[in-house]
Amino acid sequence: MLVVGLTGGIACGKSTVSMRLKEQYKLPIVDADQIAREIVAPGQDAYKKIVNHFQQKIPDLLQSDGKLNRQALGKWVFSNRDDLKVLNSITHPAIRYEIFRQILKYYLKGYKMCVLDIPLLFESKLDTFCGITISVICNEETQLQRLRKRNPELSIEDARNRIASQMPMSDRIKLSDFVIENNDSIATLNAQLQGVISQINPGFLRTTLEYFPPFGTVSALAIVVTKYLRKRAVDKQ
């Protein structure tokens, strides 16, 4: 099964592409954002750890129903990089476990391709397990405008902090197999996506061979080595 890693900077349009892949192309989506919400629900281990670490720092961390105030938590960690690392150390292991569980589920169901939709694809090194990676990008001015329109409660400084906390767009481009630019219309975006899908859609023979263990193992190893070498090249620049 081909695992397609889909990523993009905040407010660049990744979710729009993900929805298109699900509705138009009928591809199963492993949504890391949805998983991230589920693993911090009240009663979950990650929820308890977040409350223990952040409740004294963020007075309005909890809502009246006991759920996390994600806006307050996000505003705090994107302004305090050390605490962002703490939050990631709490949530990332649980998210990874659920991601791999869902990928295995689609593999066992016989799908020839699934999409791993994750904002921090490269930062979390999960691209290593993806046969293809796609980044959705846009220019910085458009990104800032879209982010503030989507989250009007954010000041310009807060919005810039969120953008700055992510991987530079130039590095994201270098690490991606395909790049979709989302500066124009939805029609233009969809046309680019159609072009990418036509190139990566695995045929019947490839799908069948990759379900045969020896060939699948060699294919997986080739992907891991290729991703590793590409990252080394980017790190040296």
The domain that holds 223 is classified in CATH as 3.40.50.300
Task: Say what the pLDDT of residue 215 is.
Answer: 45
130 and 78 part of one domain = no
Q: Which residue type, as a one-letter code, is found at position 121? A: L
66 and 161 part of one domain = no
* pLDDT for residue 204 is more than 50: no
For 10-68, write each residue's pLDDT tens digit: 999 999 999 999 999 999 999 999 999 999 999 999 999 999 999 999 999 999 999 99
User: Residues 69, 62: contact at Cβ < 8 Å?
Assistant: yes
**What is the average pLDDT score of the chain?**
88
What is this structure's pTM? 0.78
% helix, strand, coil for the chain, step of 5:
60, 10, 30
Is 203 within the bounds of a domain? yes
d(CA 192, CA 79) in angstroms, rounded, equals: 35
User: Residues 4, 114: contact at Cβ < 8 Å?
Assistant: yes
In the listed set 101, 120, 154, which residue is the last one of a domain according to the structure?
101
What is the total count of domains within the chain? Answer: 2
49 and 135 part of one domain = no
Is 123 within the bounds of a domain? yes
Domain region containing 58: 37-101
182 and 163 part of one domain = yes
18 and 123 part of one domain = yes
- Split at pLDDT 50, 70, 90, the class of 224 is low
Is 106 within the bounds of a domain? no
**Token duo for residue 174:** 């270098």
- Split at pLDDT 50, 70, 90, the class of 205 is very low
120 and 174 part of one domain = yes
For 8-21, write each residue's pLDDT tens digit: 999 999 999 999 99
d(CA 31, CA 117) in angstroms, rounded, equals: 5
Count the Cβ atoms, other than its own, within 10 Å of residue 2: 19
Share of the chain above pLDDT 90, in %: 72
Is 75 within the bounds of a domain? yes
